[in-house]
Structure 1
Amino acid sequence: MDPETPTLVVSASVRDAIVERARDGRPREICGVLGGEFGDERSRVRSQYPAANVAETPRTRYRIDPERQLSIFDRLEERGEEIVGFYHSHPTGPPRPSATDAAKATWPDRSYLIASLEPFELGSWRWRSGGGGGARSNDEDEASISDGDDAGASCVAGNGDEGTFERERLVLE
């Protein structure tokens, strides 16, 4: 894997909470915000903040409730944490961003953690706005917890920026 590949460090307790919530929430996608220490090359998740999925079709899409999102951002600030990224589940799909995920991405350089349930796998991605428009893939074994497809997603984001999801190294501690 390229040494410049960004890394997301997630504690086992945060991972377990997200996976349990994803299993309990199926067949709907679940979603939330990741808090902790954000860095361009390495981010560390200290906490996860669940949010209601208010998408019109929650079995195949997610949308974080806007009021809850603002409340979470306030809570992060109170706790001295930064927005590391966002998470959601794919109850029956792979742990990679869908074209819809890419079209709705609005937080450049933040992590998007995806929990796939069938089979179980976690994948982590960073949205890179502008420059390139092509998917960038990295070594699969370091980018997710188990084997899976390493395809990326590229398109125009919800904020009008062209961009790409870039696979990032996922480290559990």
Structure 2
Amino acid sequence: MRALTPERLQFGGHCLIVLERTLRAAEPEEGCALLLGTHSHTTLRVQWIWPCRNVWTPAEERRQRFSLDPREQLLAQRWCRNRALTVLGAAHSHPTSAAVPSATDRQRCVGPTLMVIRSGLEPPPAHLRAWWMPEVGGAPPHLADPKELAIEPQPAAPGAEHLGE
């Protein structure tokens, strides 16, 4: 079954704060995380951020490349199944470039999926951008044009306004 192209991207509760802190913590290397939530018709709703370690090898290239640990991906998928959630996609940072999918991002991406990128160069709110990466099919990955999605923050649940700080 082919996934519908989303029209809306919502981030629930404090997910944007957690994502921002997760990606910034990895600097000067690229940080990465999985985005967990629900996909309902044309709306994606991110409800959890699953921080991951950048395992790109060689380690010296992690300032411009990232790779998710496959074990983390399997653990996140199992965790989601037990909670009626799904892995919607991944987020990563570009510490020294714009928040747009690079040629490497496009080549390594297996769509359809959500890709969120944080730029270390751009001021808020342009520093965080979301992209729907389509299914490539038989076309070369660089020919599949990603669709930018507006990020819609959703309010946190009552009583969760301080993140335990």
Q: Normalising by the residue count of structure 2, what TM-score does the alignment of the two structures yield?
A: 0.79
Question: Which amino acid in the other structure matches residue 38 of structure 1?
Answer: H
Query: In structure 2, the residue corresponding to 1:55 is in which secondary structure?
Result: coil
Q: Distance in 2 between matches of 1:18 and 1:169?
A: 16
CA contact (8 A) 1:14 1:48 kept: yes
Give 2:141's aligned residue: 156
1:70 counterpart (50, 70, 74): 74
Residue identity over aligned pairs, in percent, reads 25
Larger radius of gyration: 2
Is 1:125 equivalent to 2:131 in the alignment?
A: yes
The unaligned stretches of length 5 or more in structure 1 are 134-154
The unaligned stretches of length 5 or more in structure 2 are 155-165
Matched pairs, number? 144
CA contact (8 A) 1:113 1:123 kept: yes
**RMSD (CA atoms):** 2.1
Q: Distance in 2 between matches of 1:49 and 1:100?
A: 22
TM-superposition CA deviations, 1:95-119 (whole Å, max 9, x none): 11001000011131x2111111222
Question: Which amino acid in the other structure matches residue 10 of structure 1?
Answer: F
Is 1:168 equivalent to 2:149 in the alignment?
A: yes
**Dislocated runs of 4+, deviation >4 Å:** none
CA contact (8 A) 2:6 2:44 kept: no
Question: Which amino acid in the other structure matches residue 17 of structure 1?
Answer: V
- The structural deviation recorded for 1:128 is 1.0
Give 1:29's aligned residue: 30
Query: In structure 2, the residue corresponding to 1:103 is in which secondary structure?
Result: helix
